[in-house]
Amino acid sequence: MADANNQKRVTAGMLVIGDEILSGRTKDKNIGTVADFCADLNIELCEVRVIADEIDEIVDALNALRKKFTYVFTTGGIGPTHDDITADGVAKAFGVALKVDDRAIKMMQDRFTDYPMNEGRLRMARIPDGGELIPNTVSGAPGIHIGNVYVMAGVPKIMQGMLEAIAPKLETGIEVFSASCDSQVGESSLSEPLAALQNSYPTVKIGSYPQMGSDKYVTQIVLRSADKPLLDEATQKVRDIIAAATKNKLKI
């Protein structure tokens, strides 16, 4: 994809697969990690879905996301037990067979010296036809790369290792610059001039975030743009807006 300036836009969706997140039993840490990872590579994370370990849910969500975005990152559901059905869902979504893969067995046995391939481990060695392996330095069982989809483990440490493994292979987007300005004035008092500023600088994305601290109220204004001079210009205007509002002693 290319925008008006012929600069590349690389997008991503994320699919978190796991009953344990929806039940509240496990608190997800992977969304934030993937968001940071994408930001570092100038990949625009556009949507995240969290769904249950249900085959039809996985197929529907994966097909929706992989059509919409450059990449899809999934986490969870690739362990050895009966409730780990992500690989089944991925194979079904792509309409390909799911088979025990010799490369996966070799990867697992290379990682552990004494590693008999019982049923659970064979389950983790199942790779959809046409899929490539993502190395897992933590516990051996691979992730899967197929089409524009990267299938990773749900355990954060393993997932992070897999992200590092795939990073060099990903196409990265345009460089996006950001700036932020803190204000002791509440965002209600800034909203009118900020909206006007956003209208004047449509290619600079301006976000406003209240920071509820224990002793004072601070608003952070964050600006993002691929156009550095324009970003600097808009940032100075935000500083001017904050200074004027502060001078007016407007407080929330």
Binding mask 25-44 for its own copies (x = CB under 8 A): xxxx--xx--xxxxx----x
- Residue 53: its H or E element: none
Q: Least distance to its own copies from the beta carbon of 200, Å?
A: 12
Nearest by Cα to 238 from 225, 218, 220 = 220
Smallest distance from its own copies to CB 120, Å: 3
Angle between helices 228-247 and 191-200 (to 10 degrees): 160
Tell me how many helices (H) and strands (E) the chain has. 9, 11
Is there binding between residue 24 and its own copies (CB under 8 A)? yes
First to last CA, the chain: 43
Q: Please report where in the chains the tokens 């990267």 appear, as a residue.
A: 150
Residues 202-241, interacting with its own copies (CB under 8 A): 205-210, 212, 222, 224
Min dist CB 2 to its own copies, Å, is 20
> Smaller CB distance to its own copies: residue 69 or 150?
69
Residue 121 C-beta: closest distance to its own copies, Å? 5
The answer to whether 170 and 45 have CB atoms below 8 angstroms apart is: no
Comparison of 35 and 174: residue with beta carbon closer to its own copies: 35
Element (H, E) at 128: strand 126-128
The reply on whether position 162 binds its own copies by CB under 8 A is: no
Task: With beta carbons less than 8 A apart as the criterion, state whether 221 and 180 touch.
Answer: yes
- The CB-of-216 to its own copies minimum distance in angstroms stands at 14
Q: Where are the beta strands (DSSP E) in 169-216?
A: 177-183, 205-212
Where on the chain is the footprint of its own copies (CB under 8 A)?
16, 19-28, 31-32, 35-39, 44-53, 57, 79-84, 118-121, 123-124, 138-139, 155, 157, 187-192, 194-195, 198, 205-210, 212, 222, 224
